[in-house]
Amino acid sequence: MYCAMCFEWHACFKRGRTSLEDNERSGQPSMISTPKNVETIRWLVHEDRWRTIKEIAQFYCSVLCRLREDIQRKRPELWRMGNWLLHDDNAPSHRALATCEFLAHNITTFPHLPYSPDLAPCDFFLFPKMKLLL
């Protein structure tokens, strides 16, 4: 989380905000976790419990390829400037060799830090400022 975002959240809570949920925004809603996509992933995993990380990584690469094409088609200004990032996590299929090679040649990623309470950005920026008000 960037410092500016932490200061923005701090200001919102100082003005009386009590919810951690995002506000409603205009624009097209996210269609990533549709029932069809959830069922497809569930089937992919449960249909063959011996499915390898490599097979899941190949499926993930096909999803990323469609994402690239959709960004090129739906957000041409971002595509031309090349200033969009994919926030990737550390799931095994996301760290597979095939996925890493695809990402290295096609998509700029914003790496996800490994889980550690010592690396939580809110501990360094947001919470100390909030404690000052108590």
Dist. CA 26–CA 61, nearest whole Å = 30
Domain count, the chain: 1
73 within some domain = yes
* Residue 87 parent element (H or E): strand 86-87
Can you give the pTM of this predicted structure? 0.51
Total length of the chain:
134
**Ranges in the chain, pLDDT < 50:** none
SS3 content of the chain, % helix, strand, coil (to 5): 55, 5, 40
User: Is the Cβ–Cβ distance between 113 and 123 less than 8 Å?
Assistant: no
Residue 94 lies in a domain: yes
Range of the domain at 126: 36-132
Average pLDDT, the chain: 76
Q: Check residue 10 and give its pLDDT.
A: 83
Structure tokens at 93: 């299929």
Q: State residue 133's pLDDT score.
A: 67
Contacts of 7 (CB under 8 A, 6+ apart): 125, 129
Looking at the domain assignment, is residue 23 inside a domain? no
Residue 28 included in any domain = no
Q: Is residue 95 part of a domain?
A: yes
Residue 44 lies in a domain: yes
User: Kind and range of the H or E element at 82?
Assistant: none
Provide the pLDDT for residue 90.
73
